[in-house]
Chain A
Amino acid sequence: MSALDKDTVKNIAFLSRLEVPEEKLEPIAQDLSKILEWVEQLSEVDTDGVEAMSSVAEMSLHWRKDEVTSGDQPDLVLQNAPDQDDHCYLVPKVVE
């Protein structure tokens, strides 16, 4: 299951929203296959009944009041926008 072909890489690249030039698909397929082949070793570990770990912090998140603590700073928020107008982000026209 671990060897990836060019088409699969093309699909992963699109899911990742990365434009990958055609000539790079094959080398990337080889690199990714090598990595996936290497992580394949994990299948030999018996994990039946083992809980999946998503956080190392052994604490429960605490509650806080749902209050507005900041905001109303549109200039700061938009300060790094590549393109903007009247406190709105501008993107290329996408709807005809």
Chain B
Amino acid sequence: MSGNAVDEQMVLSGVSVAGTNEFGEKDDRLHNVNLTIAPGEWLYLVGVNGSGKTTMARLLAGLYEENLMGTVNRGFAGESASPIVLQQPKAQLFGESPREEVRFALEWRELAPGSVKARTAEALEMTGLTELADLPWEKLSGGQLQLAAIAASAASRTPLIVFDEVTSMLDDANRKIVLETAEHIHRSGSAVVWVTQRLDELKPDFRVAALAGGRIIFDGNVRKFLYGETGHDSLCQSSGLRVPYLATLAMQLRQLNQLQDPLPVTAEEWRKVMGHFAGADSTARYT
């Protein structure tokens, strides 16, 4: 590991992580992975359980060192570990309230004593927790607990932050808020790795890397990943993940020549094409 320039890319080349399977046979958790992340980039990392995405997420956060082969140059992310937000709030909240949590996280970073208070307030503001900052965990919802963990992770303004399936136990409303908060952190300059199994979280024209069996099977544009190209099967099916309702519908409509590429992904794009099927009158109510 060398190089520490803020504008240098993070590069994984020929990385394998050895592991063993049920029968004691050699079974790599990651196999010959090549991946590059640019400073300030947003990367979706998708794959089913056991595809190696958790190993990958920890590796990108700078935590995984055992049984590692190949080279990892963390570039802009620096030598020290990057914060990682996990699925279960219970494993990653150490304080008793959002404010205490953020303060605990900041105490371990090299900051001037005076700036901790201001930084704490800032992180709480960014996650929308200012008003709830002093409530105990029992009074917060699952989504708010995740926001507190995000606030604690984002408070130290690291160049990279990893979200490992943080929305898997959240309802749609909480999921949206958590996603928007991550996007806010991204806009403020941090690179974001968003690990998920739920393909309906993916936004088009972003980059997605799909893992299956420890290998990267796709690295490219989300729309291409979801829908493939005309005449070709969707690539997301080969990742083993469940294809969401709307993506299936879009591909079926394409097959019946009712829709042409580029197929819709976002709500706005769907609203536009819905005009064809449902008439302008009905779509107007949704905008």
Is B a genuine binding partner of A? no
Residues of chain A at the chain B interface (Cβ within 8 Å): none
B residues neighboring A (CB under 8 Å): none
